[in-house]
Amino acid sequence: MTITADVIVIGGGMAGVSAAAELSSEARVVLLEMESSVGYHASGRTAAIFIRNYGNETLRALNSIAEDFFLNPEGVSESSLLSPRGQLMFAHEAELDKLNTYLEGAEGMETLTAREAGDLVPILKTDLIVKAAYEKNARDIDVDRMLQGYLKLLKSRKGSVFTDKKVIEITFKDGVWNVHAGTEHYQAKVIVNAAGAWVDDLAKLANVATVGANPLRRSAAILPKPEVSGFEEWPLFVSASESFYAKPEAGTLMVSPADEDPVEPHDAWVDDMALAEGLHRFEQATTIEVNRLEHSWAGLRTFVEDRTPVVGFAPDAEGFFWLAGQGGYGIQTAPALSKIATELILNREPLLDNTILNALKPDRFGE
C-alpha cells in the first residue's frame, strides 16, 4: 500500500512530533517512528529542565522564543509546561574562567557568594567554592505532558502517526520522495529528517550529504532521597565545568556525570565507569556519600561540530529538510525550532531574523 501526504516526518522524538503538529495546521502530515511508541530515545531520557542561558548565542535566542510558548502552550496544554526550579552554577578555583564566560551575555542571572550558594544547596562544600551564579527562572519542564500534547494536536489536525515503522529505503523521483518503512510505502514532496542520533544514517539512505552528527552518550542516576529537610526546593546545581549536575526529581535526587562519550547511534545504556567517575566528582563537591542507586539510564545527545541545531532544506536535495543536532537543548528549543521548520517548509514569513536562520542552515557544512 502507498500512503501519500504533503510532508513525511521521520522520527517520533520531541523534534519530529512538535514539527509534525505545527505543520499539520496547513499540511497533510505523516509521522514515522521506528519504535513502538514516540519519545522512546533521547526525548524520553532527559533532565527535563529549561535553562534560559544554556548554550551559545543562537541557542539563547531560541530559548527565549520558546519560553513564551512554554508559559502559554496554546493547543498543546491548558496550563504552563514549566514549574519553579532554578539553576545554581558554582565554580571551584580552577573553574572561575568557565563561570565568567557563561555569565557573558547571560540574562536574569545573579552572582552569589559561596555562603549564599550553600544556603540554596546545603550539601555543597562551600569552602571549595570561589563564586556562584543563580538563574532563578530556570524551570522544570513537564516533558511528558508536552510530548503528549503535541501528539494530540497532530492527531486532532488529521495528522497520521505510524509507530513500529523503521524507514529502510528512501528514493526521489519526479519531485516526489518515496519512503519505505515496515511493509508500507509513503510518498510526499517534502521529508523532514528528525531522526535524532540517526539523522546522518537517514541522509545516507536518501543519498543526501551528511552534516557530521555526533551522538554523545550522557548518563544519569537516581539516588535515594537525601535526609536533608527542604531538599525538594533545591535548584538544579551544576559545576561551572559541567563535571556533574544534580537536581531533585520526584522525591529523589538525580545526578548526571555530564559525560559526553561519542558513540554510534543505538539504544543507549549507562557506561558504569563514566557513572562511577561522575558520582565520585559529585561526592567530592558535596557532603553526600553515594552508597546506593535506585536506578540509572543513559541517552544520546546529538551535536554537530558547532553545537548549533541544523534546521532547513538540504542544499543538495530538493524537499529534504533537516531538523537535527539539538544536542542537550532539544526539549527546550522544540517550540521554537518546530515553528521555524514550519515557516520554512510552508514558505511563511519568518519569525526570526536572518542571523539566527543562517546559523541554523544546513549549507554551513558545504565547501
Ligand X SMILES: Cc1cc2nc3c(=O)[nH]c(=O)nc-3n(C[C@H](O)[C@H](O)[C@H](O)COP(=O)(O)OP(=O)(O)OC[C@H]3O[C@@H](n4cnc5c(N)ncnc54)[C@H](O)[C@@H]3O)c2cc1C
Strand (E) or helix (H) holding 259: none
Which residue lies nearer to ligand X by CB, 118 or 328?
328
Fill in the per-residue mask, 92 to 131: x = in contact with ligand X (CB under 6 A), - = not in contact. ----------------------------------------
Helix/strand/coil for 183: coil
| Contact by Cβ (8 Å): 50, 332 | yes
Given candidates 5, 30, 49, 360, which one binds ligand X under the rule CB under 6 A? 49
User: What's the closest the beta carbon of residue 192 comes to ligand X, in angstroms?
Assistant: 11
User: What's the closest the beta carbon of residue 147 comes to ligand X, in angstroms?
Assistant: 9
Given candidates 24, 43, 87, 338, which one binds ligand X under the rule CB under 6 A? 43
Percentages helix, strand, coil for the chain, rounded to the nearest 5?
A: 30, 30, 40
**Alpha carbons 287 and 105: distance in angstroms, whole number:** 33
Kindly give the pairing relationship between strand 252-256 and strand 245-249.
Answer: antiparallel
Given candidates 8, 31, 32, 314, which one binds ligand X under the rule CB under 6 A? 32
* 8 grid coordinates: 513525511
Given candidates 23, 29, 34, 337, which one binds ligand X under the rule CB under 6 A? 34
CA 235, chain centre distance (Å): 20
Q: Does 329 bind ligand X (CB under 6 A)?
A: yes
Q: Does 344 bind ligand X (CB under 6 A)?
A: no
Which residue lies nearer to ligand X by CB, 23 or 114?
23
Number of residues in contact with ligand X, rule: CB under 6 A? Answer: 40
User: What's the closest the beta carbon of residue 269 comes to ligand X, in angstroms?
Assistant: 12
- Sign of the C-alpha dihedral computed for residues 303, 340, 31 and 52 taken in this order: positive
Fill in the per-residue mask, 137 to 176: x = in contact with ligand X (CB under 6 A), - = not in contact. -----------------------------xx---------
Fill in the per-residue mask, 216 to 235: x = in contact with ligand X (CB under 6 A), - = not in contact. --x-x---------------
| Contact by Cβ (8 Å): 317, 306 | no
Helix/strand/coil for 215: strand
**Alpha carbons 22 and 76: distance in angstroms, whole number:** 10
User: What's the closest the beta carbon of residue 115 comes to ligand X, in angstroms?
Assistant: 28
Q: Does 41 bind ligand X (CB under 6 A)?
A: yes
Fill in the per-residue mask, 299 to 318: x = in contact with ligand X (CB under 6 A), - = not in contact. x-x-----------------
Q: Does 46 bind ligand X (CB under 6 A)?
A: yes
CA distances for 132 relative to 93, 95, 224, 279, angstroms? 11, 10, 26, 21
Looking at residues 192 to 211 of the shown chain, list those that interact with ligand X (rule: CB under 6 A): 194-198, 202
- What does the CA dihedral 304, 308, 311, 316 come to, rounded to 10 degrees? -40
User: What's the closest the beta carbon of residue 227 comes to ligand X, in angstroms?
Assistant: 26
Q: Does 258 bind ligand X (CB under 6 A)?
A: no
* 123 grid coordinates: 550539601
User: What's the closest the beta carbon of residue 16 comes to ligand X, in angstroms?
Assistant: 5
Which residue lies nearer to ligand X by CB, 159 or 299?
299
Helix/strand/coil for 136: coil
| Contact by Cβ (8 Å): 130, 96 | yes
Q: Does 47 bind ligand X (CB under 6 A)?
A: yes
Helix axes 334-345, 57-71, angle to 10 degrees: 100
Stretch that binds ligand X, among 29-37, 103-111, 146-154, 243-251 (CB under 6 A): 29-37
Q: Report the 10 Å Cβ neighbour count for 176.
A: 13
Q: Which residues bind ligand X (CB under 6 A)?
A: 10-16, 32-35, 40-43, 45-49, 166-167, 194-198, 202, 218, 220, 256, 299, 301, 326-332
